[in-house]
Amino acid sequence: MNWQDVYEDVIALDFEFVAEDGERQRPICLVTKSLKTGNQTRLWVAEGAQCPLPIGPEYLYVGYFASAEWNCFLTLGWDLPISIIDLYPEYRRMTNGAVGYATRSGYGLLAAAGAFGVATMDANYKTDMRDLIMEGGPWTADQQNGILEYCATDVVITANLFRQMWPKIATDRLALSQALFRGRYTAAVARMEFAGTPIDTVLLTKLKSNWPELRLHLIKAVDQDYGVYEGSTFKQSKFEHWVSTQAIPWPRTDLGKLRLDEATFRQMSKSHTQVAALHELRITLAQMRTLKLHVGTDGRNRTLLSPFASKTGRNQPSTTKFIFGNSAWLRSLIKPQKGFGLAYVDFSSQEIAIAAALSGDPKMWQAYNSGDPYMAFAIQAGLAPEGATKSSHKAIRNRCKQIMLGVGYGMGAEALALAAGIHRVEANGLLNNHRMTYRIFWKWAEANQMRALMGEPLATPLGWKLQLRNDPDPNDRSLLNWPMQSTGADIMRLAACMLTEADIEVCCPVHDAFLIRFSLVDEADTIAQTIRLMVDASAIVMGDGYACRVDADIVRYPDRYMDERGEKMFSTITRLLDTLEATERPVLAD
Amino acid sequence: MTDDKNTPDPFDPAQFRAPNTLDGGGDGIRREFIHIRVGKPKSTVFFRAHADPAYRQAVYIIEDDQSMPKDNYLVVGDMVKALIEETKPKLLVLCVDRMGTPFLWVAPPQAEDRFHRTNLWNFTALKALKLAETKWVRMKASIPEQAYNTYTSPSVEEPDWPELSMNELLKLGFGEERIIRNMNHPLVRRLLGHD
């Protein structure tokens, strides 16, 4: 297929922009190149400009990591193009599962160009020019010309890379349409990044300025139940004593010492709830030491969502800069402004729904459809009687929940035992029960796993792909789980497109949920529309009449968002903060 | 949208959704059995027994007590007569567990011993075998009762039977090593004191 047969023109483009922490991008200049005529347009846009580009569907726009370009469009108040191919997800997809050049060189423009034999610029030149741009100006006329020249170099590379990649992208009409869908998603990403998440900046400032003192009070308050700190120092020997008094089978290192890494604390606090507060304290102390949460002057948390960064095609935003990557209590900084509300709208048990729908396992779908798939599994497996409920059979439901979620995340018996706080034998038994109950699902999942291990490509309904190449040690568990996670990513991408195109203000995606902001005047309509669009997106991706359920948790001004796992810590911290602020402090002489 | 170019519509799911990309089937990959277990059903697993006579075979077996667990050797042809003192008549039955793993159960051919006395172990094992033709059964030895206790599951799921003939199953179960065709077989030589 020639692009000339499908498009009036293909326009490669690149912006240079200033990106300060938490702020919207500030575009500096734009260079475009028409593949039809070879003409270049160079535009200095630092003081604003009218859009000089035709954006009808017959014009295909090509960029590399194009969400940055669309962020600039939004800052400039321009309409976004309709037909988009972003060569970054295309390159990421083509190399997904391959070990070698891509994993060594990364997924930047120069690496992709290198892989396709496209001449590139010197990496040092690129770094120097980026540094000059990030200084933020003002720039001399010579510097402006230099920046435009540099931008044009990137555009030429992008255009040449497109020519090389096009035959692999547009292998047929379906493949091209799927690439366009990924391009469409980069526009949704830009809209979400542009919106950002509203933060209570007053409280954030108080937290930061009082932290040195607050920290000591917090340790004292939480440590009352543990006795494992001396001042602000965590003492391993005291922790050893606490673990033995609680009779917790804490994992140890080869040298017999207690494991103190974050992953162990996370797992242990799931299986032994008494560990949770100490875990939260340790995370808080580590995170607050170097709090990197990016908040702009408009009070929004804003960071790169890093779309397509994981093998499953999911976003991978920074865990420190992104509010939902931080500890649960810090998320209580999320607060709508006056007259607005926020809704955390999530797909209910998305992985289970996808597993049931794609494998066609009627029993698993029946469990999902019951509204409580964990209890349904317990009943189907004969572990609880017919009619058992969440309140009548809490313990077995919790175990079944861990198993079902664990299977969705590709966990084995060992990890499941740790997560559920049960013996390995019991975890193995439950896993076997799962296998016996959902035999159709397991047959399907293992057949896909085998295909992947054979080096055959796996692809989701909307075309995200994985193909193992040169991997000396593939993770077979994650292959088992890849179809669910990746199809979940398909659903999230489509839903993000549908929501943002319907002018719903999506602050950010959060794994299988979206945080949206709405005016209190339009609350009912906006929530209903959001739910409907998300259900529709899941129905389109899963097909055959299957659809996910969607739930919404709503917060209205003056309330704040609250994650139940961080509620206790947040209330402790705000109480201590109030006490500190109420304490009269001596005025020190200069 | 320009008609002459037939430009794809990025907003039309019918153009970018591919059905059955992860159908898990039709890929030609299947579990190949290169060995199957020969012995009693394990006390911890539920199993089903094939009711078709084509998947049952009366055989003569020598049990090697010196190996752990006991090894079963299939005695064939004229060797049965020659080794009549060493062999025991048995019934091989194709069984499969809930994970779809097949095994050949070396079942007793009848409940009575050679003196026509009912052996409770054999009697209860054969009862379990009969039940396993239609139900998922678990069989566990009870030493105080000198018999097998049998448990059934209410599950009505049909087992995954392997697509193999009884001949193929015998080959996979015994291999050439555990088939006694002549007096030079190492086990025979050991039993007759030739080694």
pLDDT for B121: 95
Residues A510-546 have pLDDT tens digits of 999 999 999 999 999 999 999 999 999 999 999 989 9
CB A14 within 8 A of CB A69: yes
> What are the structure tokens assigned to B68, written together?
């752990």
Phi/psi at A397 (5° precision) = -65, -45
Cα distance between residue A436 and residue A189, in whole Å: 41
B101 found inside a domain: yes
Low-confidence ranges of chain A (pLDDT < 70): 584-590
Inspect the interface and report whether the beta carbons of A461 and B19 lie closer than 8 Å: yes
Residue B28 has pLDDT above 60, yes or no: no
B30 pLDDT tier (thresholds 50, 70, 90):
low
Per-residue H/E/C for chain B: CCCCCCCCCCCCHHHHCCCCCCCCCCCCCCCCCCCCEEECCCCCCCEEECCCHHHEEEEEEEEECCCCCCEEEEECCCHHHHCCCCCEEEEEEEEEECCCCEEEEEECCCCECCCCCECHHHHHHHHHHHHHCCCEEEEEEECCCCEEEEEEECCCCCCCCCCCCHHHHHHHHHCHHHEECCCCCHHHHHHCCCC
Inside any domain, residue B133? yes
Establish if B3 belongs to a structural domain: no
Whole-number Å distance between alpha carbons of A280 and A225: 13
Dist CA A265 CA A279 (whole Å):
6
The DSSP code sequence of A420-448 is: HT--HHHHHHHHHHHHHHTHHHHHHHHHH
Question: In the structure encoding, which two tokens stand for residue A171, read together?
Answer: 């292998």
CB contact under 8 A, B16 and A178: yes
User: CA-to-CA distance for B118 and B135, rounded, in angstroms?
Assistant: 25
End-to-end CA, chain A = 77
Q: Return the DSSP state at A564.
A: G
Contact A57 B9 (CB under 8 A): yes
What are B179's strand-pairing partners? B74
| B151 to A381, B125, B129, B139, B142: CA distances (angstroms) | 16, 12, 12, 6, 13
For residue A365, give both structure tokens.
Answer: 């779908």
Residue of A82, A432, A461 with shortest CB distance to B21: A461
Q: What is the ipTM of this complex?
A: 0.74
Run of H or E including A581: helix A567-582
| Nearest residue in B to A540, CA atom | B13
pLDDT of residue A144: 94
Cβ contacts of residue A419 below 8 Å, gap of 6+? Answer: A267, A270, A271, A402, A406, A411
Counting the structural domains of chain B, the total is 1
Domain A3-195 matching CATH 3.30.420.10: the answer reads: yes
**Chain A residues closer than 8 Å to B25 by CB:** 444, 447
Predicted local confidence at residue A26, as pLDDT? 95
Show me where the domains of chain A are located: 3-195, 201-321+567-582
Pick A462's closest partner by Cβ from B8, B16, B155: B16
**A147-170: per-residue pLDDT in tens?**
999 999 999 999 999 999 999 999
Sequence letter at residue A26: R
User: Residue A469 carries which DSSP code?
Assistant: B
* A interface test, pick of B21, B98, B151 with most A CB neighbours within 10 Å: B21
DSSP assignment string, A218-272:
HHHHHHTTT--EETTEE-HHHHHHHHHHTT----B-TTSPBP-SHHHHHHHHHH-
Q: Which residue has the tokens 């096009």?
A: A166
CB contact under 8 Å between B16 and A181, yes or no, is: yes
Is B99 in Cβ contact with A7 (below 8 Å)? Answer: no
Do A58 and B5 count as a contact with CB atoms less than 8 A apart? yes
**B18 vs chain A: nearest CA distance in angstroms?**
5
Q: How many CB atoms lie within 10 A of CB B186?
A: 11
Q: By CA distance, what is A445's nearest residue in B? A: B24
Whether B81 is in a domain gets the answer yes
Cα–Cα distance measured from residue A336 to residue A517, given in angstroms and rounded to the nearest whole number: 8
Nearest to B24 among A174, A445, A460 (CB): A445
pLDDT above 80: residue B26:
no
Q: Is B10 inside a domain boundary?
A: no
Chain B neighbors of A7, CB-CB under 8 A: 5, 7
Concatenated DSSP letters for A297-363? TTSEE-----TT-STTS-----TTTSGGGS-GGGGGGB-PPTTEEEEEEEETTHHHHHHHHHHT-HH
Across the interface, whether the CB atoms of A359 and B24 are under 8 A apart is answered yes
- Residue B104 within a domain: yes
Residue B102, domain extent: 36-191
Long-range contacts, A249-252 (Cβ 8 Å, 24+):
A251/A418
- Residue closest to A220 by CA, chosen among A276, A268, A285: A285
Provide the 8-state DSSP code for A293. -
CA distance B64 to chain A (A): 32
Q: Which residues have C-beta within 8 Å of that of residue A497, sequence separation ≥ 6?
A: A181, A184, A185, A187, A188
Residue B118 lies in a domain: yes
Q: What is the distance in angstroms between the Cα of A65 and the nearest Cα belonging to chain B?
A: 18
Query: What's the confidence (pLDDT) of residue B95?
Result: 97
Question: A199, A333 in Cβ contact below 8 A?
Answer: yes
User: How many Å apart are CA A364 and CA A355, to the nearest integer?
Assistant: 8
Closest CB from B10, B29, B154 relative to A82: B10
End-to-end CA distance of chain B: 89
Cβ atoms < 10 Å from Cβ of B150? 18
Give the confidence band of B3 by pLDDT, cuts at 50, 70, 90: low
Q: Is the pLDDT of residue B29 over 90?
A: no
Are the Cβ atoms of B98 and A432 closer than 8 angstroms? yes
